Structure 1
Amino acid sequence: MNHSIDYVQDCFLVFDKVGDSRIDKKQVGDLVRALGLNPTNKDIDRVTKGCSQRMTFEEFVPTYQALEKAESEKEFEVSSFYEGFKVFDTENKGTLKEAELKDILTRLGEKLSEDEANAILGAVVDSDGKVSVDSLIRYVTNTN
C-alpha cells in the first residue's frame, strides 16, 4: 500500500457522509482517486461487485489494494497517448484547442464530467486557450 493504513482510513472517514464509518459504494472511485490511483470506472465496478452498498473500511481495504495492484501492473506507452492526440491536432503543432479537448474529454471513451474536464483543462490550458499535448500527457500520466 502506497499510503499508511491510518492515512487511508482517515481519507475513508472523510467520505463517510452519514457518520456510520461506512461509505457509499458509488464513492469508491472518488476516494481511490483522492488516494492517487487512476482506475477506470470499469475497474471500479469489477472490484466492488458483490460489496455492500455501504462499505465498511474492512471491505474497502481489499478493494483499494486490488485497484492499486491493477494500476501497478498497467503498462502504457506514452507514445500511444501522442498517437491518440495526433488525430485531433489538425494543424500538427502539438497543441489542441481548449474547447475541442473539453468536447473530447466529455463525449468520447470513458466520459469525464464537466468538473473533471475543467480540472484537467485548468491545469494545462495556456493564456491563448491552447493545450500543449506534451503538458497534457505529462499531467494525466503524472510524469515529468
Structure 2
Amino acid sequence: MAITSTAYTALLQYCAEAKALSSPHRATIRGAVVLTGSQQQCIAQVLSALWGKAMPCPLVLDLKPQHGYQSRVHKDGFGGEQYAEWLAVGCADVAVVGTDKRGRPHLIVNGINDGRGTIYDIMVPVRSTTEGVVYIDDVIPLGLPAKKRA
C-alpha cells in the first residue's frame, strides 16, 4: 500500500502550510506508510543488526516531514509537491530495503525517469531510536542535482 491516501493529502497540506509560513514546522503524520511484509521483515533484521539487539519494525510507520522538507525544498530548491511525490514513490511496495555505509536501513527505488533528462534513484532513510521507534523523515533523489537557487 505504501503511503496512505490520507497521509499523502496530509503531506500536501503540510507542504502548503510550510510554504505559506516560509518555514516548515514540526509535525507527525501518524500511520502514514504501510510496509509490505517483506519490507517490514528486512528492516527489522537490519535494525537488529544495527542496534545489536532484537528490534521489531512496525508494519505501519509515521512520517515526520520537517527534516525532508527543509532538505529538499529549502536547501535543494525543489517544490513541496515534488517532495511529496518522491516520498510516495520511495515508499512504494516496489521499494527494496538496503543499508548505508553505517548499516542504517533505507527503502530505495532505482531507475526513476520523470522527464528531467536524468535517471536517478529515490532513497528513503528509515530512522530508528534505541527505544524501538521507527519512522520516515526524509527522501533523497540520488543522482538528481539540486536546482539552482535564484
Calculate the TM-score normalised by the size of structure 1: 0.28
The answer to which structure has the higher helix fraction is 1
Q: Which has the higher contact order (CA 8 A, sep 6+)?
A: 2
Calculate the TM-score normalised by the size of structure 2: 0.27
Bigger Cα Rg: 1
